[in-house]
Every structure is written in structure tokens, then in C-alpha cells.
Homo-oligomer: A and B are copies of this chain.
């Protein structure tokens, strides 16, 4: 844990420890994403990580704490990705367009994020509520979206009185729900809503809908 400044190149004993922890975390992410918290098996995580099961408890305490670690890591990842979006550098219309497509793409490329959140919400966020780093999970996009909306309004492009938090949640909603509930929706509509064409149509609709709403 303690690192010495004098020997930065030489990886001391903790090298393998780091590797083990990362292996466990990666395996846990996969397992929890696939089966949810209740369905996940600690044995499978250990096997997948290539470590002794006992080591999981050595490093992470128990299944719940491991799940929280995975969850925090997942949130950290999406927040990092959001940093790369520079909505402030775009004109308002483009910014909204980019926000929708970024959200959509991120969920599409990170199905584990959706499964993890689904499972966590099924259990009333018991893990997340105990997180000490919960503040860091608040998205910076809410504030950036507020700025975009204000700029659009001042330029006479956007309507008045749009609540950035509500809009942020709505954008997340239309992207998330389509993917999180894809299995039941596909079953009921009797067609594959994850086919490339269907996905493209969905993105097009969502962009139109959000812009249709905010534009005067």
C-alpha cells in the first residue's frame, strides 16, 4: 500500500497483490453483470479471476463489499468517459445532439452498467447508500447541460423553463430503458430490437424527440 518515492521503477511485493485485486474486480464485474447480485456466485468469480476464493474475502471483505467496489468502479468509469465530452465547446444544438448520442453509445457499449444498476435498484440501492464516495458519482453533465440550455435560450434557439435535471434524467431514461428492457420488449413485440437497423432508428428518434422538445 505504501509506495516509496525513491524506487518508483521497482515494483515491490505489492505488484502481485495489485494484479490479484484487479483480476478479482474484473471477474466480479463480469459475474455481477451477468447474473445480478443475488444470482452471482463467489466461487465463479474466484475461478474466473484465477485466484483462491479466500483471497476475495482477504481483499474485499464479503460479497456485498465486493459488489459495492464493482459499482463504484463502474461509476468512476462512466464519469471518466463523460469528462471527454466537451459540451461547453459546442454550439447548443450540437451539444444536445452529442449528449444524447454519447449516452446512447455508452450504455450500448457498457451493458454491464445497466445490469449492475438494475440489480442494485432491485435491492433498493442498499450497497450504494453505504458508499463513502457517493458524492463523486454525481454526474458533471447535469451542470454542463444547464449551461448548454442557458446558452441556447439566450441565443433564442431553446425554449424557456427547461429543468436540466429533469431533462438529464429523461435523456438517460429513453436510452437506458430501451436497452435494459430490451429482452421483454423484444419478446412482446416479436422482433429483435437490438438489430443494427433498429438501433439506428432508435437513436434517430431519441435525438429528434429531445431536440423537438428543447427547440422553440
Contacts and interface: CB of A to CB of B under 8 A. Distances in A.
Interface string A127-169: 0110100110111000000000000000000010001011101
Interface stretch (A1-9, A13-21, A81-89, A199-207): A199-207
How many chain copies? 4
Contacts of A123: 36, 39
B39 A184 contact: no
A23 interface: no
Nearest to A139: B188
Q: Which of A122, A165, A209 has the most C-beta atoms of chain B within 10 angstroms of its own C-beta?
A: A122
Interface string A105-122: 000000000010111111
Nearest to A119: B122
B121 A118 contact: yes
Contacts of A159: 212
B173 A125 contact: no
A201 B166 contact: yes
A185 interface: yes
A172 B177 contact: yes
Interface in A79-105: none
A176 interface: yes
Contacts of A177: 169, 172-173, 176-177
A202 B163 CA distance: 10
Contacts of A206: 170
A166 B202 CA distance: 7
A60 interface: no
10 contacts: A39-B122, A121-B182, A128-B187, A135-B190, A138-B190, A163-B201, A166-B202, A174-B174, A208-B213, A212-B214
Interface of A: 35-36, 38-39, 115, 117-125, 128-129, 131, 134-135, 137-139, 159, 163, 165-167, 169-170, 172-174, 176-178, 180-190, 201-202, 205-206, 208-209, 212-214
The 9 closest A-B pairs by CB, nearest first: A125-B183, A173-B177, A38-B38, A212-B213, A166-B205, A173-B173, A173-B174, A38-B39, A128-B187
